[in-house]
């Protein structure tokens, strides 16, 4: 399949971003289409000679050495290109193209993204790679090599577990994840009712997405004027104020993200977690926080 064929299958902006790396990534495989045509011509010639009764001859065609593996090579090429195009199409629907300057798009990122995304056929994981591409297009340099390596090693099950964790995260106003409130001791399975058992958390820690210490506490410095912390979870926001206003520095215990986990958090699609949200709010109140819903519009 040539780059012009790719252009016909995807919208122009995403093609301009991705297509220049297709030849570099699949250069050897791209030649297989022409090789196969040569093989078909070689086979036709040999068949004709055999049907004519010629059995003592030597024929050297243009591509005979590729005969055994030509079909398998073509199928592998189609698989890789199909995966790449599918992930690119998903990314195209996510990108705000008004924020994109393709001159700043890193060819190193593009090549690695193509090599990794081309081997992913699962819809969930394709969505993850699509959001990584979209994030890098809109904010060049925002996706590190470490994050790409972690994403490469994730399977569908791990991606689903990380999605639950990200959906539960308490964030700052700018949507940077701060902590997943433990609702007790995460190391003793306090988050198991919400799909985040200790075993799952350890798997996420193994993939370098969260800090492995389950007894971590995060220090909050409240607003000096109002003695409060503004936090959000997805599209909801709260003002947290300690019952004892004399203490400006306060703590919340739970699960912390690693730097790579924070990067991947930005591209994970969040899902509603109402049971966890209720448990989180109740935990904060038990720990001496006054929790007041806040209109997000008022935050900015």
Return the pLDDT at 276: 97
pLDDT at 161 over 50: yes
Mean pLDDT of the region 253-270: 93
User: Tell me, what's the pLDDT at 295?
Assistant: 82
pLDDT exceeds cutoff 90 at 16 = no
Give 164-218 pLDDT, tens digit per residue.
999 999 999 999 999 999 999 999 999 999 999 999 999 999 999 999 988 788 8
Nearest partner of 127 among 80, 166, 155, 86, judged by Cα = 86
Full-model pTM: 0.74
Cα–Cα distance, 177 to 167 (Å, whole number): 10
Chain segment 25-40, per-residue pLDDT in tens: 665 444 455 555 665 6
Distance CA 46, CA 186 (A): 70
The CA-based angle 276-281-282, given to 5 degrees, is 95
Helix (H) / strand (E) containing 291 = strand 289-293
d(CA 175, CA 167) in angstroms, rounded, equals 12
Task: State the average pLDDT for the chain.
Answer: 81
Choice among 26-30, 125-129, 163-167, 289-293 with the minimum mean pLDDT: 26-30
Residue whose entry in the numeric block shows the structure tokens 């086979």 = 43
């Amino acid at each position: 399949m040539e780059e012009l064929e790719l252009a016909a299958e995807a919208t122009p902006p995403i093609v301009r971003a991705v297509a220049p790396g297709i030849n570099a990534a699949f250069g050897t495989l791209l030649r297989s289409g022409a090789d196969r045509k040569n093989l078909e011509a070689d086979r036709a010639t040999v068949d004709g000679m055999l049907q004519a009764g010629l059995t003592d001859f030597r024929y050297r065609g243009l591509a005979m050495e590729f005969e055994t593996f030509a079909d398998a090579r073509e199928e592998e090429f189609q698989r890789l290109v199909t995966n790449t195009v599918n992930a690119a199409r998903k990314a195209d629907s996510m990108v705000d193209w008004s924020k994109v300057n393709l001159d700043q798009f890193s060819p190193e990122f593009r090549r690695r993204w193509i090599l990794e995304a081309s081997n992913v056929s699962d819809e969930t994981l394709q969505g993850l790679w699509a959001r990584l591409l979209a994030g890098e297009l809109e904010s060049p340099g925002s996706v590190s090599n470490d994050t790409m390596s972690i994403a490469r090693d994730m399977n569908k099950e791990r991606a689903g577990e990380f999605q639950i964790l990200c959906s539960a995260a308490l964030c700052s106003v700018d949507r940077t994840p701060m902590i997943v409130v433990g609702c007790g001791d995460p190391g003793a399975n306090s988050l198991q009712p919400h799909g985040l058992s200790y075993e799952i958390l350890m798997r996420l820690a193994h993939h370098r997405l969260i800090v492995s210490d389950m007894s971590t506490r995060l220090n909050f410095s409240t607003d000096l004027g109002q003695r409060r912390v503004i936090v959000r979870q997805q599209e909801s926001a709260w003002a947290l104020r300690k019952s004892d206003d004399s203490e400006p520095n306060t703590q919340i215990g739970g699960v912390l993200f690693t730097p790579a986990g924070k990067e991947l958090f930005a591209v994970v699609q969040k899902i509603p977690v109402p049971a966890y949200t209720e448990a989180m709010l109740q935990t904060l109140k038990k720990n001496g926080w006054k929790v007041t819903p806040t209109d997000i519009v008022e935050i900015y």
